[in-house]
Chain A
Amino acid sequence: DGGITQSPKYLFRKEGQNVTLSCEQNLNHDAMYWYRQDPGQGLRLIYYSHIVNDFQKGDIAEGYSVSREKKESFPLTVTSAQKNPTAFYLCASSPAASTAGYGYTFGSGTRLTVV
């Protein structure tokens, strides 16, 4: 079955370490997105990509980096510059850059805890 796989589901890191969250999709979608969700909060856009080797900053890109070397993969690195990285991270994809009529397919999320 097609879908989006985020791994791992739970991730623990020490403060000051960089950590990379994986997001892989086999839906043949062009566009991919990363969101952050804090307890009781809505979704905040970190980065998004419409095509391979291209990506744009979202509303809260500081302290994060991404790459899009393959259509299927859009890993997110949480760097030591991110001041409050503990959160639930969601990856999503859509068939095309235009989401009209399609919306997103979401992964199941990665809960990152920095101690």
Chain B
Amino acid sequence: GDSVTQMEGPVTLSEEAFLTINCTYTATGYPSLFWYVQYPGEGLQLLLKATKADDKGSNKGFEATYRKETTSFHLEKGSVQVSDSAVYFCALSGISGNTPLVFGKGTRLSVIA
């Protein structure tokens, strides 16, 4: 079945550092791919998405490119801020029927000043 694998955290960075959170997937065809962010004590918010190969999703300085050849959707940000500290979830929507989203286990990011 479909699956998502994220790099394990926690990830700790200094403010203004470059961020990469790896996400790879297993799925048939061309799934839709998503990144969600969860701030402490809150629900998940959609951060960005991509629906076809080579699409780049972007929002709030974060970017991710849908790479079919490497089945990846890595999240990047050029300069992180303390306010980016949160848990980040990669997810996919498969093409095989009306099935719920498949989520990775989440990666906790801590940014220190």
* A and B are partners in one complex rather than unrelated chains: yes
Instruction: Report which A residues bind B (CB closer than 8 A).
Output: 4, 6, 31, 33, 40-43, 45, 48, 50, 58, 90, 92, 96-109, 111
A42–B95 CB distance below 8 A: no
**Inter-chain residue pair count (beta carbon < 8 A):** 68
Q: State whether A108 and B42 are in contact (beta carbons under 8 Å apart), knowing that A99-B32, A100-B93 are contacts in the complex.
A: yes
Could you give 21 example pairs across A and B, Cβ below 8 Å? Answer: A31-B98, A33-B100, A40-B108, A41-B105, A43-B103, A43-B106, A48-B100, A96-B98, A99-B100, A99-B101, A100-B31, A100-B95, A101-B51, A103-B32, A103-B101, A104-B44, A106-B36, A106-B43, A107-B43, A109-B42, A109-B43
- A33 CA to B32 CA in the complex, in Å? 18
**B 30-75 contacts with A by CB, 8 A:** 31-32, 34, 36, 41-46, 49, 51
The DSSP consensus for interface residues of chain A is loop
- A113 CA to B85 CA in the complex, in Å? 25
Range, interface on chain B: 20 to 34
Q: State whether A101 and B44 are in contact (beta carbons under 8 Å apart), knowing that A41-B105, A42-B103, A42-B105 are contacts in the complex.
A: no
Instruction: Report which B residues bind A (CB closer than 8 A).
Output: 31-32, 34, 36, 41-46, 49, 51, 89, 91, 93-95, 97-98, 100-101, 103-106, 108
- A8 CA to B11 CA in the complex, in Å? 32
Which residue of the partner chain, among B34, B43, B49, B98, contacts A97 with CB atoms under 8 Å? B98
